[in-house]
Amino acid sequence: MNQRSERRGGWSWWYLLLLVQFVFLFWPAYYNTVEPSWIGIPFFYWYQMLWVIISAILIAIVYFMTED
């Protein structure tokens, strides 16, 4: 317990998970298309909206895994 709380604020490998969203969103050429569209929304828009949800889940995972 004591040892774990000492580590808080230090490094954890779980933090690497936070890089995922940078990789998938950084370069717009990957997702600058209309198809596949979803309920009439072009891919460009729903893909980025989907990443809002995925990134929130990723941060939540990292939060719980690095919390004691």
Partner 1 sequence: MAEVNWTALIIFVVLFAFITWLGFAAAHWRKGDLDLLHEWGLGGRRFGTLITWFLVGGDVYTAYTFVAVPALAFGAGAVAFFAVPYAILIYPILFLPFPRLWRVCHKRQYITAGDFVRGRFGNRWLALAIAATGIVATMPYIALQLVGLQVVIGAMGVSGAGYSGDLPLIIAFIILAAFTYSSGLRAPASIAIVKDLLIYVTAFVAVIAIPIQMGGFGKIFAAVPPAKLLLAVPGPHTTGVYSYYATLVLGSAFALFLYPHCVTGILAASSARAVRRNAAMLPGYTFMLGLLALMGFFALATGVHLLPEFAEGFKSFGNNFAVPALFLHSFPSWFVGVAFAAIGIGALVPAAIMSIAAANLYTRNIHREFINPNPTDKQEAQMAKWVSLVVKLGALVFIIFVPTQFAIYLQLLGGILIIQTLPSVMLGVYTRWFNDWALLMGWLAGTAVGCWMFAAANLSPNYPLHIAGYTIPGYAALYTVILNLIVVVVLTPMFNAMGGKQADATIAADYLA
The nearer residue to partner 1, 36 or 52, going by C-beta atoms, is 52
| 18, 58 Cβ separation under 8 angstroms | yes
Q: Which of 1, 3, 13, 62 binds partner 1 (CB under 8 A)?
A: 62
Give the SS3 label for residue 61: helix
Q: Which of 3, 9, 13, 35 binds partner 1 (CB under 8 A)?
A: 9
Report d(CA 62, CA 68) in Å as an integer: 12
Kindly list the residues in this chain that would bind partner 1 in the complex (CB under 8 A): 5-10, 15, 18-19, 21-22, 25-29, 32-34, 37, 39-42, 44-45, 48-49, 51-53, 55-56, 59-60, 62-63, 67
